Amino acid sequence: MRYIYLFALPFLFAFVSNANAQCRVGSGPDMGDGIPYCSDLGPQIQQSYSPKWQTKWGAIAIDPMAKTGGIGFAENLNSKKIAEKFAIEQCLATGGSKTCRVEVSYDNQCGVIAWGDKYYTTANAQTVEDASSLALELCDKKTENCKIFYSNCNYAVQIR
């Protein structure tokens, strides 16, 4: 009996090693007999997957002449133009005037405002921590009591 297994073993490997064959144990004609069953499926098509990403934009608009309000934010929008337009509209809606202007627009990053006693500054960077550090450093050079007033991150989203 041992000789039969040794005799059949090389044939089994030759049968299973066919490059175009797909083998499944126990799915032969008898369905579940435990014997490898291979079928030639011809050349296999390799499909590669390449994700597609949608850039996301944010913007900050401020009216430096407004006594109160006059600030607008745009978050997670699909283009720079749309983000800046939305931020300006928000600036106007919160008490700003024709002096509303986009201070910073950013894609796939974070944007922040640091505000102190007599000055504000905006910054953008890959992380909110980096953007905050930069904005606070710039603000502290011009005034006292600078704090992060606003922060937001917009990162690309996978769409395919």
Distance CA 154, CA 110 (A): 6
3-class SS shares of the chain: helix, strand, coil, % to 5: 30, 35, 40
Structural contact between residues 153 and 128, judged by C-beta atoms closer than 8 angstroms: yes
Residue-range definition of the domain harbouring residue 134: 109-154
Query: What pLDDT band is residue 49 in, cutting at 50, 70 and 90?
Result: confident
Q: Averaged over 79-106, what is the pLDDT?
A: 97
Please give the pLDDT value at position 27.
52
Judged by DSSP in three states, 153 sits in: strand
- Please check the confidence at residue 28 and state whether its pLDDT lies above 60: no
Establish if 94 belongs to a structural domain.
no
Establish if 39 belongs to a structural domain.
no
Please give the pLDDT value at position 17.
47
Establish if 148 belongs to a structural domain.
yes
Please give the pLDDT value at position 147.
98
- Please check the confidence at residue 40 and state whether its pLDDT lies above 80: no
Establish if 23 belongs to a structural domain.
no
Establish if 16 belongs to a structural domain.
no
> Into how many domains does the chain fold?
1
Structural contact between residues 60 and 36, judged by C-beta atoms closer than 8 angstroms: no
Query: What pLDDT band is residue 129 in, cutting at 50, 70 and 90?
Result: very high
Establish if 125 belongs to a structural domain.
yes
Establish if 75 belongs to a structural domain.
no
Establish if 36 belongs to a structural domain.
no
Query: What pLDDT band is residue 66 in, cutting at 50, 70 and 90?
Result: very high
Average pLDDT of the chain, as a whole number: 84
